[in-house]
């Protein structure tokens, strides 16, 4: 019932008195508080989302890890949003995720009914990638999640362990999304650090297409996020198509790359130490740590700019409730084979700020230079 209509009914019932008047008084008070303060009490929150539909914009194609991640959340989020709205998923892939991110930033209405489910959007913005018009710092952050990536190679390349990369039976052909994407840069930086030559092919719209390219032999070296690897990449391992080599890792609290404990694979730092006999260092390694920082919030969940703060808070509480839901955790274990490491609200804002702080100086310039090669 809209505000003016409630007023009319209130004045009519006031003449009668009784229980209906008490109910209307409470409803009117709740709406006045919500209107004046902008902080909606539970009743107003119910009224806002009741009968509505929240749309998730996935910035990659269907079947990939971002899609799996988003659809898993979509199944549980409604029960944690007052009013129990429906949630639908729309895939908007292309340009390494940039098209979907631009849409949420420029076109989607700031009404709380559109939520971005993004992956890999830090480096395209930091490096001024082609077509980038979004600004992650100008979008209300609802939540995010940390996730390493697993690097694998076709089995017929003659590489069984990371040390074999120095003498592969076939030339290494790297496959990725765009020159500024974290996937592409992480793969190329690792090979440059190890001193391995390679050919580079980019422009694939999503992970599903990269898997097909691996199967066809168009490329033989790529990576998948932990979600992608456990839900799809591992099938390529089981059928003998690829061999997993290492994980790219996460940025630890001391500013260095650490192993994501949810994978048994060694980090690139461990691989480098084993192959070269020393720890990696220098500008290129610092640049790799920038990409590691971006994996510390690989999944980025924003609302469009100018979405009202009270609506963002409803969404944050909804995502927090979803992540803490025992049934969601059990389903994560079943679907993903691991538990998420999520950040919500202010915690996500802190991680976001840390990623941008790390991407400065010579490390950023080294990344920019690599995009031009």
For the stretch 13-52, pLDDT in tens is: 445 555 544 444 444 444 443 443 344 445 455 689 999 9
- Structural domain harbouring 277: 149-295
CATH of residue 103's domain is 3.40.190.150
Which of 94-108, 280-294, 316-330 comes out lowest in average pLDDT? 280-294
pLDDT tens for 342-357 read: 999 999 999 899 889 8
Both 122 and 256 in one domain: the answer is no
pLDDT in the model for residue 357:
86
Percent of the chain whose predicted confidence (pLDDT) is above 70: 88
User: CA nearest 183: which of 363, 371, 357, 358?
Assistant: 371
- Per the CB < 8 A criterion, the answer to whether 153 and 360 are in contact is no
pLDDT tens for 60-73 read: 999 999 999 999 99
Both 281 and 357 in one domain: the answer is no
Can you tell me the distance from the alpha carbon of 3 to that of 341, in angstroms, rounded to the nearest whole number? 42
Both 223 and 289 in one domain: the answer is yes
Burial 238-270 (b: 16+ CB within 10 A, else e): eeebbbbbbbbbbbeeeeebbbbebbebbbbbb
Mark which of 265, 295, 325 sits at the end of a domain. Answer: 295
Both 155 and 277 in one domain: the answer is yes
pLDDT in the model for residue 252:
82
pLDDT in the model for residue 293:
83
Both 261 and 350 in one domain: the answer is no
pLDDT in the model for residue 46:
67
Residue 59 within any structural domain of the chain = yes
More confident residue, 297 or 29: 297
Residue 372 within any structural domain of the chain = no
Both 191 and 281 in one domain: the answer is yes
Residue 3 has pLDDT above 50, yes or no: no
Percent of the chain whose predicted confidence (pLDDT) is above 90: 78
pLDDT in the model for residue 324:
97
pLDDT in the model for residue 17:
52
* C-alpha to C-alpha distances, 300 to 136, 144, 181, nearest whole angstrom: 9, 5, 14
Both 201 and 266 in one domain: the answer is yes
Overall average pLDDT of the 170-195 stretch: 95
User: CA nearest 313: which of 20, 45, 47, 17?
Assistant: 45
Which of 14-28, 107-121, 176-190 comes out lowest in average pLDDT? 14-28
More confident residue, 279 or 33: 279
Both 176 and 116 in one domain: the answer is no
Overall average pLDDT of the 185-214 stretch: 95
pLDDT in the model for residue 26:
43
* C-alpha to C-alpha distances, 231 to 118, 162, 362, nearest whole angstrom: 18, 23, 37
pTM of the model: 0.82
Both 229 and 272 in one domain: the answer is yes
Question: What DSSP assignment string belongs to 41-71?
Answer: -HHHHHHHHTT-EEEEEESS-TTSHHHHHHH
Both 118 and 161 in one domain: the answer is no
pLDDT in the model for residue 184:
96
CATH of residue 237's domain is 3.40.190.10
Q: What is the residue-averaged pLDDT of the chain? A: 89
pLDDT in the model for residue 135:
97
251 pLDDT tier (thresholds 50, 70, 90): confident
* Torsion sign (Cα): 168, 159, 63, 213: positive
Residue 225 has pLDDT above 90, yes or no: yes
pLDDT in the model for residue 144:
96
User: How many structural domains does the chain have?
Assistant: 3
pLDDT in the model for residue 44:
57
Overall average pLDDT of the 306-311 stretch: 96
Residue 40 within any structural domain of the chain = no
Residue 229 within any structural domain of the chain = yes
């Amino acid at each position: 019932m809209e505000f003016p209509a409630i007023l009319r009914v209130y004045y009519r019932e006031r003449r009668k008195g009784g229980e209906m008047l008490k109910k209307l008084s409470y409803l009117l008070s709740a709406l006045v508080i919500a209107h004046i303060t902008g902080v909606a009490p539970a009743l107003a929150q119910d009224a806002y989302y009741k009968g509505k539909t929240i749309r998730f914009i996935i910035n990659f194609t269907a079947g990939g890890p971002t899609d799996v991640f988003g659809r898993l959340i979509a199944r549980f989020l409604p029960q944690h949003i007052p009013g129990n709205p429906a949630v639908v998923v729309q895939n908007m892939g292309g340009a390494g995720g940039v098209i979907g991110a631009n849409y949420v930033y420029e076109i989607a209405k700031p009404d709380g009914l559109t939520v971005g489910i993004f992956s890999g959007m830090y480096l395209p913005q930091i490096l001024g990638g082609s077509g980038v018009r979004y600004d992650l710092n100008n979008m209300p952050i609802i939540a995010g999640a940390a996730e390493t990536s697993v690097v694998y190679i076709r089995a017929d390349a003659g590489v069984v362990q990371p040390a074999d990369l120095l003498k592969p039976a076939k030339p290494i052909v790297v496959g990725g999304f765009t020159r500024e994407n974290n996937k592409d840069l992480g793969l190329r930086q690792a090979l440059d650090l190890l001193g391995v030559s390679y050919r580079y092919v980019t422009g694939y719209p999503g992970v599903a297409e990269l898997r097909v390219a691996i199967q066809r032999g168009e490329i033989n070296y790529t990576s998948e996020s932990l979600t992608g690897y456990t839900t799809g990449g591992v099938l390529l391992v089981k059928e003998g198509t690829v061999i997993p080599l290492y994980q790219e890792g996460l940025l630890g609290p001391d500013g260095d790359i650490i192993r994501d404990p949810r994978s048994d694979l060694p980090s690139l730092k461990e691989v480098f130490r084993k192959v070269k006999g020393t720890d990696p260092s220098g500008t290129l390694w610092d640049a790799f740590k920038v990409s590691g920082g971006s994996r510390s919030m690989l999944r980025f969940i924003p609302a469009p700019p100018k979405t009202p703060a009270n609506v963002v808070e409803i969404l944050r509480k909804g995502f927090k409730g979803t992540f803490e839901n025992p049934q969601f955790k059990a389903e994560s274990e079943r679907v993903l084979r691991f538990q998420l490491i999520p950040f919500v609200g202010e915690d996500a804002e802190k991680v976001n700020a840390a990623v941008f702080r790390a991407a400065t100086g010579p490390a950023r310039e080294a990344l920019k230079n690599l995009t031009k090669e």
